Amino acid sequence: MKLSIVYDNEAKEGFKSDWGFSCLIESGDRKLLFDTGASGDILTYNMQQLGIRKEEIEIIALSHEHGDHTGGLDVVLHPGVAVYLPRSFSRRLKKNVAEKAARVVEVSDPKEIFPGVHTTGELGRGIKEQSLVLDAEEGVVVLTGCAHPGLENILEAATVFGELYGVIGGFHGFDKLESLQGLELIMPCHCTVRKKEIWGMYPEKTVRCGAGEVIEL
């Protein structure tokens, strides 16, 4: 499985950085785009740099309904795509997606999206959010948008799919850094407040995040 960071607060040379998050998952010939960043123009630019065409995207999964994760949605919707979104999303957004995509899948419970890729289901009481759980050889890797439900709660929910191996994405204000000890791969992206402390505590396990970064699981 291959992960390409398409949109992030940081960027590799040749890519644009902006507050927001988007990541492409490729497994065999299947492509899933997780979140769409804030700006359609920046999303399009970074996708071009990575050689991604929207028509190749079979599934779009949206973590939560904040503009820095859904803002670029319109530029990647196409008549062949299925969109997985938390059931709590607004009627307005669901209607927009239903008009432009092949299929809308409203998510509430944990389930498989396709072999090797699962959703935690909709978590959290305030801002509801789904995270993805990816099968890697060594265990499962959790992919978060902003981790509003609390990263520790998301990691806990992901354990139904296997032993935790890594975590990638926005961790927001998460500060129970010692609870990451058991993980082998930590890729703090986007809104993670304590990036520097994570690097300091786990220098050998932490991987740099930024638009244009590609990792193999």
Which of 23-31, 70-78, 82-90, 143-151 is the region at the interface with Zn ion (rule: CB under 5 A)?
143-151
Distance CA 183, CA 164 (A): 7
Query: What tokens does 157 get?
Result: 């929910």
Is 66 a binding residue for Zn ion by CB under 5 A? The answer is yes
Cβ closer to Zn ion: 66 or 195? 66
| Contact by Cβ (8 Å): 37, 7 | yes
Residue 59 or 146 with smaller CB distance to Zn ion: 146
Q: Which of 73, 92, 69 is nearest to 81 (CA)?
A: 73
Number of residues located near Zn ion, criterion CB under 5 A: 4
Q: Which is nearer to Zn ion, 31 or 66 (CB)?
A: 66
> Which residue from 213, 185, 209, 183 is spatially nearest to 195, judged by alpha carbons?
209
Residue of the chain from 107, 146, 189, 217 that contacts Zn ion (CB under 5 A): 146
Stretch that binds Zn ion, among 47-55, 104-112, 187-195, 199-207 (CB under 5 A): 187-195
Contact 34, 132 (CB under 8 A): yes
Among 5-13, 60-68, 102-110, 150-158, which window interacts with Zn ion (CB under 5 A)? 60-68
Of 30-38, 82-90, 146-154, 205-213: span binding Zn ion (CB under 5 A): 146-154
Assess 85 for contact with Zn ion (CB under 5 A): no
Q: Which residue in the set 8, 18, 35, 68 belongs to the binding site for Zn ion (CB under 5 A)?
A: 68
SS3 61: strand
Token pair recorded at residue 178: 């010692």
Which residues in 87-213 belong to E strands, given as ranges?
A: 103-107, 111-114, 117-119, 132-136, 139-144, 164-170, 185-189
- Minimum distance, C-beta of residue 69 to Zn ion, in the bound complex (Å): 6
What residues from 190 to 209 belong to the interface with Zn ion (CB under 5 A)? 191
Region near Zn ion per CB under 5 A, out of 28-36, 133-141, 180-188, 189-197? 189-197
- CA separation for the pair 155, 164 (Å, rounded): 8
Residue 128 makes contact with Zn ion by CB under 5 A: no
Do strands 111-114 and 103-107 pair parallel, antiparallel, or not at all (unpaired)?
A: unpaired
Which residue, 72 or 139, has its beta carbon nearer to Zn ion? 72
Rounded CA separation 81/214 (Å): 23
Binding stretches for Zn ion (CB under 5 A): 66, 68, 146, 191
